[in-house]
Amino acid sequence: MRLYKTSDEVRKVKRINQPVHSIKNKYPDFEKNYIIHLKKAEKVILHQLIQAIIREGVFDYVWVADGSSIHISLCDGESLQVPVGRVSALSHLDLDGKIIHSDIEGNKHPITTPLVLLDVLYDKENLSKNQLSFYKEIANSVENYGLALTIAGYRQKKVEQEARQLNAKDVYSLVSAEQQKSHSFSPLAFFEQWVIQGHTIHPCSRTRLGMSAEDIACYAPEWGGEPEVIPLVVHHHICRVTALDNQNTKTILFQEYPELEQAFEELCESRLMNEDEYEIIPVHPWQFTHTVRHNYHEALEKGRIIPLENVRIKTAALISFRTLAPLNNRTKHHIKTAMNVQMTSAIRTVSAASTINGPLLSRLFQEMLRNDSFLSSRLTLMSDEVGIHYEPEGEFDEKQTHFLQKNMAAILRGNPEQELQEDEIAIPAAALLSKSPVSGRLIVEELVQRQEQGSVFEASQAFMKKYARALLPGILTLITKYGISMEAHLQNCVIVFRNGSPERVILRDIGGIRIMNERLDRYFDKQPIDPSTNLLTAQRNELLDIFSHALLHNHLGEIIYWLSRDLKVDEMKLWAIVRSVIEETYTHLKQDPTIGSEAMADENHLFSQPSRMKALVQMRLSDKYTDNIYVNLPNPLSMRNEVLGT
């Protein structure tokens, strides 16, 4: 017998109730607003979940004859009917009504929450380990998204007041005015902290398993989190440092935070320690409280790890939660910290391999950009300048060693705002799909309306051409010429705007890239890359699969979908602009005789093959979220009018 839980019934068994009581005193009517927003969160994540199930083929389905809905057959003659109003070029579905479950007796029940949908899809008495985990992740994502929507309402009121005072018509005008008022104001941090939903495709977009609501309210970016990073003094025998140049974490952090150097010197003097024998590992305060204290207690007791007392590095949490920007500063380094928390589908620690590969690959990129004027005029990289991780002493098995390495590790990353001109503003691409706190429209829609063209459609075309030209040429050059495919999805791309128009892209996070040495070796000696993070590939198709998922599905596809949906513009004409920019790029690349054949083959592949999307829910349910599983979907670049499932 199915148990159809209402929102109120589900809420009674969730851990979120008690934490809401501890937060609500800070905000009037918080609990009432949370209940309202929790229902919105349930609807959004329900739609994300059914989208993923259909697009990824998690269950077999068929279209009904008139094309108005999708029929999913379940066990014992039960079924789901999913009403569909519109199918986008990348098979994104507009749901047109309620999802209906028909039970074994023919009774029909509306599905209103993602947990109820999972109850229908799976036998709760016989859940696999992965299915049970996924159920908990979905519930956690709903809770946290409900909290994010709730706090966004309170934060928006403050922003609206500032916009009125500065006579700002949209959010771009607001941050421009704030930047002129104060050189310490960071537009990037502002936009990062205005990403409320998170991942636009994955239904676990707001999963933070292991964190309480109080923790989230304190540290999360959508709450305006300002974590105070704890510097740990660590003996150099039990840590490894990899640097882009002749630096380490000490030299960089001491230069940027003189009070930290003073505290370090006083510590060394009081304990008769040799300053040259110790390094600094910056640790997220949540990680120190919940992971370091419990798992490194022997090293702490022996004084091999010493937290600096009364000195903290003030930061602002960015989209990825664990990556932090200097508070009220546009020049100091960003800090990527380790957090033993599951967000989306992975535990967000920092692997030892990442602390090594980041600076090594950053050095490679710097040399590449110095020698390639076409590439350097179109993109830059947030360099991982120093990586550091703990190396445990004593007898530990491989699993314990990896745990201790990755849970006390950090990367110091260059600040993308440091080199900007006065009239430039850096915006993470993920923020473009957030609702503006000034107008309530999507930020990308505000930017479209800043274009000088007459009609909405003309303005959309003008914006898309500028955006595609800022984004695509550099990324495609990396793939075809150098054999490097970046995960250039919405979160990993920072777009530099001038007067509201996109100019170029800054890429960040080297972790998910793929490198084809056959191409790269034409220009560079083989790099000493740690292969344990699966960066290397001999397959050209794998480079283009990364591009397809990150750029087509989880970047341009989302922007084009929402522009076409909200502004009622022709979706395929926007894709035609993207295709024309790709053609322009390959016209240039094919002129280079050393890569002409690769350029022709890559271009043909992009225009003729199905688009490839990571099956994120399949990967989670199969517990293979580190091994990419892809599904074939229609390709809007092929200029064919394809339909999902045909």
Q: Specify whether 436 is located in the same domain as 379.
A: no
DSSP state of 304: S
User: Do 74 and 120 form a contact (C-beta atoms < 8 A)?
Assistant: yes
Q: Specify whether 123 is located in the same domain as 201.
A: yes
Q: What is the pLDDT of residue 531?
A: 65
Q: Is residue 566 part of a domain?
A: yes
For residues 48-59, average pLDDT: 94
Strands (E), 14-117: 61-63, 69-73, 79-87, 93-95, 99-102, 108-111
pLDDT in tens, 270-300: 999 999 999 999 999 999 999 999 999 999 9
Q: Specify whether 475 is located in the same domain as 612.
A: yes
Whether the pLDDT of residue 644 is over 60: the answer is no
Whether the pLDDT of residue 11 is over 70: the answer is no
Q: ∠ CA(287), CA(291), CA(294), 5° rounding?
A: 145
User: Do 231 and 260 form a contact (C-beta atoms < 8 A)?
Assistant: yes
Report d(CA 413, CA 405) in Å as an integer.
19
Q: Specify whether 539 is located in the same domain as 605.
A: yes
pLDDT band at 625 (very low <50, low <70, confident <90, very high): low
Q: Specify whether 501 is located in the same domain as 576.
A: yes
Q: Is residue 3 part of a domain?
A: no
Whether the pLDDT of residue 123 is over 90: the answer is no
Whether the pLDDT of residue 402 is over 90: the answer is yes
Strands (E), 174-312: 208-209, 228-235, 239-243, 278-283, 305-307
Secondary element (H or E) of residue 241: strand 239-243
Strands 278-283 and 239-243, bridge-based pairing: unpaired
Least confident span in 481-485, 508-512, 518-522: 508-512
Report d(CA 628, CA 617) in Å as an integer.
11
To the nearest whole percent, how much of the chain has pLDDT over 90? 80
Whether the pLDDT of residue 347 is over 90: the answer is no
For residues 475-495, average pLDDT: 96
CA max distance for the chain: 81
Summary mean pLDDT of the chain: 91
User: Do 384 and 361 form a contact (C-beta atoms < 8 A)?
Assistant: yes
Q: Which position has the token pair 């940027």?
A: 256
How many structural domains are present in the chain? Answer: 3
Domain containing 22 — which CATH number? 3.30.310.280
Q: Specify whether 353 is located in the same domain as 468.
A: no
* Domain final residue, candidates 394, 414, 434: 414
User: Do 282 and 337 form a contact (C-beta atoms < 8 A)?
Assistant: yes
Q: Specify whether 319 is located in the same domain as 267.
A: yes
Q: What is the pLDDT of residue 126?
A: 82
pLDDT in tens, 523-558: 887 766 766 667 889 999 999 999 999 999 999 999
How many other CB atoms are there within 10 angstroms of residue 62's CB atom?
A: 10
Q: Specify whether 385 is located in the same domain as 428.
A: no
Q: What is the pLDDT of residue 524?
A: 85
Domain span at 202: 14-167+187-213
Q: Show the tokens assigned to 419.
A: 């080199």
Q: Specify whether 368 is located in the same domain as 347.
A: yes
User: What is the torsional sign of CA 438, 442, 446, 449?
Assistant: negative
To the nearest whole percent, how much of the chain has pLDDT over 70? 94
| Exposed e or buried b per residue across 127-164, where buried means at least 16 C-beta atoms within 10 angstroms of its C-beta | eeeebebbbebbbbbbbbbbbbbbbbbebbeebbeebe
Q: What is the pLDDT of residue 198?
A: 80
DSSP state of 67: S
Q: Show the tokens assigned to 58.
A: 């998690």
Rg (Cα) of the chain, in Å, rounded?
Answer: 25
User: What is the torsional sign of CA 266, 271, 275, 279?
Assistant: negative
Whether the pLDDT of residue 643 is over 70: the answer is no
Q: Specify whether 119 is located in the same domain as 239.
A: no
Q: What is the pLDDT of residue 646?
A: 38
For residues 16-42, average pLDDT: 80
Q: What is the pLDDT of residue 295?
A: 95
Q: Specify whether 447 is located in the same domain as 541.
A: yes
Domain containing 616 — which CATH number? 1.10.510.40
* Domain final residue, candidates 414, 448, 464: 414
For residues 440-466, average pLDDT: 94
Q: Specify whether 287 is located in the same domain as 332.
A: yes
